[in-house]
Amino acid sequence: MKISFNSEFSNDRGTIVFVCVKNKPLHKYLATLDKKNNNYISKAMKVTNFDYKENNHLELILPLGSKANRLILIGTEVAKISNEVGLGKLGSFLTSITNNKKIKEVSLIIDHKLFKPSEVAIMLFGLSLNTYRFNKYFSDKNKTRVNYIQKINLFYSNKTDLQKEWKRFSSIKEGVFLTRDLVSEPANNLTPFLLAKEAMKLKNIGLKVEQLDEKKLKDLKMGALLGVAQGSENKPYVVTLEWKGNKSKKTTDFTFVGKGVTFDTGGISIKPSGGMEEMKYDMGGSAVVLGLMKALALRKTKANVSGVIGLVENMPSGKAQRPGDVVKSMSGQTIEVINTDAEGRLVLADILWYAQKKFKPNKIVDLATLTGAIIVSIGQEKAGMFSNNSNFSDEVTKLGLKVGEEVWNMPVDNSYEKDINSDIADMKNVGSGRGAGSTAGAIFLKRFIKDTTWMHLDIAGVTWAKSDRPMTPKGGSGFGVRLLDELVFKNFE
């Protein structure tokens, strides 16, 4: 979809869209048109009970006085657009209207007296997010979930400041779309090798990208990650990405680490067949890292950031890891593998250690579709958040509320340590009993964190949208890209 920016309204053709705010005056063009037509517009608003409720709009076929053939009024209230979530939903609603009416192009007029440039940019962000469709595998194009809107002619008097704001949100949108694309891909078309290849493409936007193959991983003694990969014909990879936004300092501000299990059968501890097809998105953490790094590079963040993703496939075979095996991680710590379906933490153990050794970040955040237990705990509205620093977790909680990607603080204190103690190794990869499964995973990861501020985001419940939502069509959600971009932006820009 293309957006053109204009400071003066000059094209009263086709479909014109106005955003109307309750108890605020109509835009001057709309007021003039209303007057020319004996208060036709205001009368229509009154007769139809245009009450500015959410998802309320009015469509009018225009009489004399305009070359346009259709007018769409979208109503809202100040209280509903007082935050980013409300503004994003407002923009998303415009996409839904145009798609329902199969409209390909509109002129969108927004009053600068009612909306700041930053608010309009967020509105456009929500509008754009709702245009996403993953249609590439349909042979019959009539069956596709069509996005009709192709062009927005935006009229807003403070065009210059708006374009500056939109540059950032346009970059975030591109990152979200990359994440959604990767999460939506079937596993036969996104093996560890192919996902590593997608990551390498980000060199084209200025990121430094390096790929480690199986031989290099063996040289680094990543025994935990390699143990997960050994059952598959598809070889493992680790990919690192780096952006130096502030070359005057040598330190890395943030490192983001992502689990990339491109398909998870559970291994020898095989999963039930029902729903196993969803395990194509068990690489969701790595997809968020790639989408985030793309967004940060496109908007040329002033921070120094890096990403590390571990890419494997967890398959049962004669070569596969067995329950009861003991593996030695890159850190030197040994792990008794009780359940081969708790494989993501084994991958993360090695790449978290490697990330700290390579980049020495001030803060490190890992993302993983780690446990089904987090869905049992908090459902599919929020990500589970675990951190060794309360100030950091408080900060991310507030940012999540602000941008609409919410997290819930979960326990990861030392009282849970005993749950992953092993009788024959330094630790085991699952907790004792059925309780606190997500915390057991986080406690495990915590053992591979040095003296670094760390956060683990369990995104198992939020990576895939099972139905259409505002700004998130059914499928890969892209959750995490917006939140972590805001984290970087707030701290360094």
The answer to whether the beta carbons of residues 74 and 98 sit under 8 Å apart is: no
Catalytic residue among 101, 197, 271, 447: 271
Crossing angle of helices 40-47/28-36, nearest 10°? 100
Query: Which residues have a Cβ under 8 Å from the Cβ of 31 and sit 6 or more positions away?
Result: 25
What phi and psi, each to the nearest 5 degrees, are found at residue 487? -60, -45
Buried b (16+ CB within 10 A) or exposed e, 160-178: ebbbebbebbbbbbbbbbb
Give the Cα separation of 350 and 348 in Å (integer).
Answer: 5
* 3-state secondary structure at position 259: strand
Locus of tokens 């680790």: 238
Distance of CA 268 to the CA centre of its chain: 31
Which listed residue (345, 363, 382, 428) is catalytic? 345
Question: Among candidates 441, 473, 464, 272, which has minimal Cα distance to 371?
Answer: 441
- CA dihedral 454→458→464→467, nearest 10 degrees, is -120
Residue type, 235: K
Residue 44 burial (C-beta neighbours within 10 Å; 0-12, 13-18, 19+): middle
User: Does residue 117 sit in helix, strand or coil?
Assistant: helix
* Cα angle value 300/303/308 (rounded, 5°): 95
Task: Give all strands (DSSP E) within 172-318, no chain letters.
Answer: 208-212, 237-244, 252-264, 304-314
> Do 56 and 90 contact (CB within 8 A), yes or no?
no
* Ramachandran angles phi, psi of 77, nearest 5°: -125, 155
What b/e readout covers 295-316, taking b as 16+ CB neighbours within 10 angstroms? bbbbbebebbbbbbbbbbbbbb
Does residue 271 carry a catalytic annotation?
yes
| 3-state DSSP assignment of residue 281 | helix
Radius of gyration, alpha carbons of the chain: 25
Other CB atoms within a 10 A radius of the CB of residue 413 amount to 11
For the question of residue 280 being annotated catalytic, the response is no
d(CA 342, CA 429): 7
Q: What are phi and psi of 102, to 5 degrees?
A: 60, 40
Whether 462 and 383 have beta carbons less than 8 Å apart is answered as yes
275 pairs with which residues across the strands? none
Q: 3-state DSSP call for residue 20?
A: strand
Residues designated catalytic: 271, 345
